[in-house]
Amino acid sequence: MHHYLSIAGEFAPSRRVIDVQEFGNGNINDTYLVTTDADEQSQPEEKYFILQRINTQVFKQPRLIMQNMRTFTEHVRRRAQEEGHKWIMPRVISTCDGQDFYIDLQGNFWRAISYVHGTQSFETIKDARLAYEVGYALGTFQYLISDLPASRLADTLEGFHIMPRYLQNFDQAFSHNGHKSSAEVKRCLKFVEQRREFAQVLENAREQGKLQLRPVHGDPKVNNVMIELSTGRAISLVDLDTVKPGLIHYDIGDCMRSGCNPLGEETEDWEAVHFDPQIGAAILEGYLSQARHFLSAADYEYLFDSIRLLSFELGLRFFTDYLAGNVYFKVRHPQHNLQRALVQFKLTESIEAHEAEIRHIIQGMVSPAI
Ligand code: GN1
Ligand code: MG
């Protein structure tokens, strides 16, 4: 505890840190909520902040994350103000000596960002109103960042969301671990084999020039959307380490695979996992209320594929990590990543089973009935 208090203190030179608690349930970085002795009423901004230890096994160049953060938080904040959008971007908090990060004696990389006050987030979506807000949050974020040239952002995580790369990693992990062959593993292997060609769909479209790289969020899952307590409206999208050039389809697919799975990605009952098309329709409606302004005809064409692909992708990443010995995602038990993979693959199957319905919903939004 003392150790954490003193690290947090590096980011709060004029305050006494009184508490540091683990916060959220990220799979990669370690996140803490810091409380200082500031007065909550008069200085809410100084009372709490978020402290994170970046996992440098995953993010090999954490300085690039901070560099990007400076660039896009400033851009988005300015644009939101110009356009009258009520939108909050977390701020980077500097150390006593004006750095964006602090490296402790063990070489750990720490950084701090402001806490979004008066908000809450949810693990799963229970009603259409929240679904709309989750979609709206992603659309607003992408809109506000859409005029920032992608070339101004560094690549903080090479290969992120690139399916052909994930397949290569999978093949490698499998060739070293072919002995793990329970019934569940066999199910996963078969699942992947049947979708190898489909896995290329977004990267092919990009190579053919149909889809272009733009700044994206990278990880817009439900619990990263901050909902204002007083209004129920989305006012921020947090977890900004993967904001970098990408396809907006990674975001929409990721948001849908997270939002339309009522049992959540951590359920142990993978056989009961399913995709909820009604929630999906409400997310898309909220998303398109903002994204309409920048989506092209080709972008719409790949919406269904992106929804199907991103749950497959996450399942493949979990499965690969299980085969590789749980080296990327944090796990609570040795089978955890296998269980998570089964959840995502079941979700993918449900998306496939609902294909006609989902395409119909998308179609109705492209050309709304008059
Ligand atoms: C990871 O750490 P967390 O929970 O914010 C992962 C995402 C996955 C997510 C699944 C950098 O995000 O891509 O969708 O787990 N982030 C990275 O819960 O790999
Ligand atoms: Mg994340």
CA distance 206 to 212: 6
CA distance 266 to 50: 24
What pLDDT shows up at residue 366? Answer: 85
CA distance 335 to 339: 6
CA distance 295 to 288: 9
Q: Tell me the mean pLDDT in the region 37-61.
A: 94
Point out the ligand 1 atom lying closest to the alpha carbon of residue 314: 14
Point out the ligand 1 atom lying closest to the alpha carbon of residue 58: 11
Alpha carbon of 219 to ligand 2 centroid (Å): 5
Check if the beta carbon of residue 4 is closer than 8 Å to that of residue 22.
Answer: no
Alpha carbon of 338 to ligand 2 centroid (Å): 20
Alpha carbon of 219 to ligand 1 centroid (Å): 6
Query: Does 364 score more than 90 pLDDT?
Result: yes
What is the number of the ligand closest to the CA of 266?
1
CA distance 111 to 94: 8
Residues at CB less than 6 angstroms from ligand 1: 26-28, 58, 157, 219, 221, 239, 242, 265, 314
Query: In testing the pocket of ligand 1, which one of 29, 157, 221 has its CB within 8 Å of the most ligand atoms?
Result: 221
Query: Does 198 score more than 90 pLDDT?
Result: yes
Query: Does 369 score more than 50 pLDDT?
Result: no
What pLDDT shows up at residue 176? Answer: 87
- Nearest C-alpha to atom 18 of ligand 1 is from which residue? 27
Residue predicted with more confidence, 304 or 42: 304
What pLDDT shows up at residue 178? Answer: 66
Point out the ligand 1 atom lying closest to the alpha carbon of residue 160: 19
Query: Does 367 score more than 80 pLDDT?
Result: no
Percentage of the chain beyond pLDDT 90 is 93
Check if the beta carbon of residue 32 is closer than 8 Å to that of residue 23.
Answer: yes
Query: Does 37 score more than 70 pLDDT?
Result: yes
In the chain, the amino acid numbered 232 is G
What pLDDT shows up at residue 236? Answer: 98
CA distance 260 to 242: 22
Give the closest residue to 221 by CA, choosing from 248, 255, 253, 261.
Answer: 255
Alpha carbon of 26 to ligand 1 centroid (Å): 7
Per-residue pLDDT reduced to its tens digit, 266-291: 999 999 999 999 999 999 999 999 99
Query: Does 207 score more than 80 pLDDT?
Result: yes
- Half-sphere exposure of residue 104, counting CA atoms within 13 Å on the CB side? 17
What does the DSSP assignment read for 11-66?
A: T-TTS-EEEEEE-S--SSSEEEEEEESS-TTT-HHHHEEEEEEE-TTTSS-HHHHH
Per-residue pLDDT reduced to its tens digit, 307-343: 999 999 999 999 999 999 999 999 999 999 999 999 9
Alpha carbon of 364 to ligand 2 centroid (Å): 32
Terminal CA-CA length for the chain:
61
What pLDDT shows up at residue 215? Answer: 98
Check if the beta carbon of residue 320 is closer than 8 Å to that of residue 166.
Answer: yes
The sign of the CA dihedral 97, 113, 314, 248 is negative
257 pLDDT tier (thresholds 50, 70, 90) = very high
What pLDDT shows up at residue 370? Answer: 45
- Nearest C-alpha to atom 9 of ligand 1 is from which residue? 27
Per-residue pLDDT reduced to its tens digit, 225-238: 999 999 999 999 99
Query: Does 58 score more than 60 pLDDT?
Result: yes
Alpha carbon of 26 to ligand 2 centroid (Å): 6
81 pLDDT tier (thresholds 50, 70, 90) = very high
Q: Tell me the mean pLDDT in the region 337-354.
A: 98
CA distance 1 to 229: 31
